[in-house]
Amino acid sequence: MALENEKEQLQLDRQADTRSVLSICGNWNIVHGIPATDSVMKELAQPLRSQQLFLNADRLTGWDSSLLSFLTKLQSRCAAEEIELVTDGLPDGIRRLLALASAVPKEEETQAREETVALLPRVGKAAVAQMNAALEMLGFLGDAVVAFLKLCQGKARFRKSDVFLLLQECGAQALPIVSLISILVGMILAFVSAIQLKMFGAQIFVADLVGIGMTREMGAMMAAIIMAGRTGAAFAAQLGTMTVNEEIDAISTMGFSPIEFLVLPRMLALVLMMPLLCVYADLMGVVGGAIVGVNMPDVTWLQYYEKTRHAVSMTDCGIGLFKSAVFGMLVAISGCLRGMQCGRSASAVGQAATSAVVTGIVLIIVADAIITILCDVIGI
Amino acid sequence: MKKVERNSVLKSFPEAHITVEDLTMAYGDFVIQRDLDFQINRGDIFIIMGGSGCGKSTLLRHLIGLKPPAKGRVRYGDISYWEASPEEREHLRRRIGVLFQSGALISSMTLAENVALPIAEYTTLASDDIRDLVALKLSLVGLAGYEGFYPSEISGGMQKRAGLARAMALDPEILFFDEPSAGLDPISARLLDELILELRDSLETTVVVVTHELASIFAIGNNSVFLDADARTMLATGDPHRLLEESEEPKIRKFLTRGEVA
């Protein structure tokens, strides 16, 4: 198809040993593709190299950018092989556009390609980038701590109404999704343990497993992961968009600290709401477990309730609550940090939101592991 | 009459309001502009001009204290901004107002709340007084009655005017404008120019404008600095009208005549 077109569109005639005429014919349309310059150049080179190439467009019936693109390629290749390209035979419009396209020389800097870097420098660069990222995070943490101290002194400047809105946003509005996930997690825990316990005829211990599992571990963790996906991403997107819109700059020039004004209320809201959500998730998880439990033979609601009450201690609840407060802090930090680091484009906002969720979840799991190990070491 | 007298005094003894000394601006190792030295006088309408990508907005970010210089100083009166104590800096920041390119209103707050934000922070006015003041500022920019609207509910031009109302909220000594006419129709752009002149004349505000709109430059500017992207430094400073008449520098002539004189 392309070849046929090429034959129709281009015709090379030798007039003398060093002179050739390239006739451009037919209707050039971008949908037919752009012919390659290779065949023309090859023919020009043999049997004897042409010195001059005349262009003729007498039989050209229509053209668009495809012709222009072909001609610019031809022009640069002719220049490279020191063949003079005579464009007098082209319509005025094409000649003017061709002149326009070659008027400004290619800028070297903008053409700079990614060089292939050897492995060692690449590892080094990545390490330096990691360290800078860690330093940036530490700096942000420092700022946040300073802001918190100012809050304790009553000197932090932010809008109280923002805090209430945020409390609502990351508290009450998260209840439906937390209910659903926690009930399901409770049910899953119950099913998994029921299969094992049935072998010993000890189904009633499902209540213990679900109760302890939810309060110590899963309640805090599931609530935190939901909030990382829900609120952490929202924080990053909000702050990122505010960066793009110069709102953060505006806040700074009005003399407010963006950390106090934007980050502090968000951290406060999450740290306050997360333990409450955790308690709620614990309850819902136990309910989920109970739904499975009471459907097993020989277990009633009352038995399940009593068993749970005996199994779950205040220590378990306390550990869960402590974890959730830590998780709340981590989710808020990762969300706000990524939002404040956001670049000035729409895609940067998307990256900030994604990165906030990833950072948040990684931090949650790592912190959970550390706290669990510590609890084991001190024996609670 | 009194105003005229004052202006003539200003003209004969220009008093430096902002002084830029040996300023180098850079992102990391990449130098945007170097060796900037100029002076913005009290009561000036000072234009920062130059082609696209030459660092006009970056210079503005240095002047309003958003970006520390790689080298050199930005002095407000006698105080060097980046060497000042945090309290002094905060005090300086209270004396300036900035209109960002897109208005930069805080999107979660209504127009009234936006304008009230600096007033409530820096004054001890009662909430009723603040409300009246906010209404006054909004009516000055032609947005009376829009107090309860959120930024997303009004047009781009209106957002810009609301941004101006917020920038003027504390009657700043210096007002900064980043591309004030970008995205405005010619009539709105002209009205904004007239408003800038009016502010300078009535409130004796020093105005610094980043722009490449020739019409605005000649209509309002009485002092300027011309930045060049290739030379990475300033090519001239002074009254744009004078630069047009006297400058020998082909780049400046080309810029100020829309490329007609090469």
Please judge whether A255 and B98 are an interchain contact, meaning their C-beta atoms are less than 8 angstroms apart: no
Please judge whether B90 and A255 are an interchain contact, meaning their C-beta atoms are less than 8 angstroms apart: yes
Q: Does B7 touch chain A (CB under 8 A)?
A: no
Among A238, A253, A257, most B C-beta atoms within 10 A, so best to mutate, is: A253
Among B90, B96, B99, B100, most A C-beta atoms within 10 A, so best to mutate, is: B100
Percent of chain A with pLDDT over 70: 95
* Contacting residues of A for B61, CB less than 8 Å apart: 249
Written as tens digits, the pLDDT of chain B (262 aa) is 444 444 444 444 578 889 999 999 998 888 999 899 999 999 999 999 988 888 898 999 999 988 899 999 999 988 898 888 988 888 888 889 999 988 899 988 999 999 999 898 888 889 999 999 999 999 988 888 999 999 999 988 889 889 999 999 888 999 999 988 887 888 888 888 898 898 889 888 999 999 988 888 999 999 999 999 888 899 999 999 999 888 888 888 888 888 876 5
Please judge whether B64 and A247 are an interchain contact, meaning their C-beta atoms are less than 8 angstroms apart: no
- Per-residue pLDDT for A253 more than 70? yes
Searching chain B, which residue's CA lies closest to the CA of residue A244? B104
pLDDT per position as a tens digit, A185-235: 999 999 999 999 888 888 889 999 999 999 999 999 999 999 999 999 999
Q: Does B67 touch chain A (CB under 8 A)?
A: no
Please judge whether B94 and A255 are an interchain contact, meaning their C-beta atoms are less than 8 angstroms apart: yes
* Contacting residues of A for B87, CB less than 8 Å apart: none
Q: Cβ neighbours of residue B113 under 8 Å, at least 6 residues apart?
A: B106
pLDDT at residue number A81: 83
CA distance A245 to chain B (A): 6
For A56, list phi and psi in degrees, rounded to 5.
-130, 130
pLDDT at residue number B37: 92
Please judge whether A250 and B93 are an interchain contact, meaning their C-beta atoms are less than 8 angstroms apart: no
Pairwise CA distance, residues A29 & A102, whole Å: 22
pLDDT at residue number A41: 80
CA distance A307 to chain B (A): 49
* Angle at A59 (CA atoms; ends A58, A64), nearest 5 degrees: 95
Searching chain B, which residue's CA lies closest to the CA of residue A250? B104
Closest by Cα among A30, A55, A28, A58 to A40: A55
* Pairing relationship of beta strands B45-50 and B206-210 according to DSSP bridges: parallel
CA distance B5 to chain A (A): 33
* Contacting residues of A for B117, CB less than 8 Å apart: 254
CA torsion through residues A254, A260, A262, A263, sign: positive
pLDDT at residue number A327: 96
Among B88, B106, B121, most A C-beta atoms within 10 A, so best to mutate, is: B106
Q: What is the mean pLDDT of residues A311-329?
A: 94
* Contacting residues of A for B168, CB less than 8 Å apart: none
Q: Does B172 touch chain A (CB under 8 A)?
A: no
pLDDT at residue number A110: 53
Nearest CB partner across the interface for A245, out of B104, B121, B166: B104
pLDDT band per the 50, 70, 90 thresholds, residue A320 = very high
Q: Is the peptide bond before A258 cis (omega within 30 degrees of 0)?
A: no
Task: Give burial (CB, 10 Å; 0-12/13-18/19+) of B11.
Answer: exposed
Please give the full DSSP string across A231-297, using - where no structure is assigned: IIHHHHHHHHHHHHTTHHHHHHHTT--HIIIIIHHHHHHHHHHHHHHHHHHHHHHHHHHHHHHTTST
Question: How many CB atoms neighbour CB B168 within 10 A?
Answer: 21
Question: How many CB atoms neighbour CB A226 within 10 A?
Answer: 20
- Per-residue pLDDT for A1 more than 70? no
Q: At what angle do helices A314-341 and A346-378 cross, to 10 degrees?
A: 150
* Contacting residues of A for B108, CB less than 8 Å apart: 162, 165
Only one residue has tokens 């809105």, namely: A165
pLDDT per position as a tens digit, A18-42: 788 888 888 888 888 888 888 888 8
pLDDT at residue number A93: 87
Q: In this predicted model, which residue has the larger pLDDT, B261 or A250?
A: A250
Please judge whether B121 and A241 are an interchain contact, meaning their C-beta atoms are less than 8 angstroms apart: no
Closest by Cα among B143, B151, B141 to B114: B151
Amino acid (1-letter code) at residue A53: L
- Per-residue pLDDT for A3 more than 50? no
pLDDT per position as a tens digit, A271-316: 999 999 999 999 999 999 999 999 888 889 999 999 999 999 999 9
Cβ contacts from A onto B, under 8 A = 50
Q: Cβ neighbours of residue A331 under 8 Å, at least 6 residues apart?
A: A224, A227, A228, A231, A232, A270, A274, A360, A363, A364
pLDDT band per the 50, 70, 90 thresholds, residue A118 = confident
Pairwise CA distance, residues A285 & A215, whole Å: 9
Nearest CB partner across the interface for B64, out of A242, A251, A253: A253
Pairwise CA distance, residues A60 & A23, whole Å: 9
Searching chain A, which residue's CA lies closest to the CA of residue B164? A250
Only one residue has tokens 């490279």, namely: A80
Give chain A's contact residues with B (Cβ, < 8 Å). 157, 162, 165, 241-242, 245-247, 249-256
pLDDT at residue number A6: 58
Closest by Cα among B174, B30, B190, B162 to B105: B162
* Angle at A106 (CA atoms; ends A105, A111), nearest 5 degrees: 165
Nearest CB partner across the interface for A253, out of B93, B107, B121: B93
Only one residue has tokens 């101006």, namely: B164
pLDDT at residue number B128: 92
Q: In this predicted model, which residue has the larger pLDDT, A14 or A338?
A: A338
Searching chain A, which residue's CA lies closest to the CA of residue B88? A255
Report the mean per-residue pLDDT for chain A. 88
Give the N- to C-terminal CA distance of chain B in Å, as an integer.
44
Q: Does B107 touch chain A (CB under 8 A)?
A: yes
Task: Give burial (CB, 10 Å; 0-12/13-18/19+) of A96.
Answer: exposed
Ramachandran quadrant class, A281 (left: phi over 0; alpha: psi -120 to 50; beta: rest): alpha
Q: Cβ neighbours of residue A80 under 8 Å, at least 6 residues apart?
A: none
CB B184 within 8 A of CB B101: no
Q: Does B122 touch chain A (CB under 8 A)?
A: yes
pLDDT at residue number A2: 41
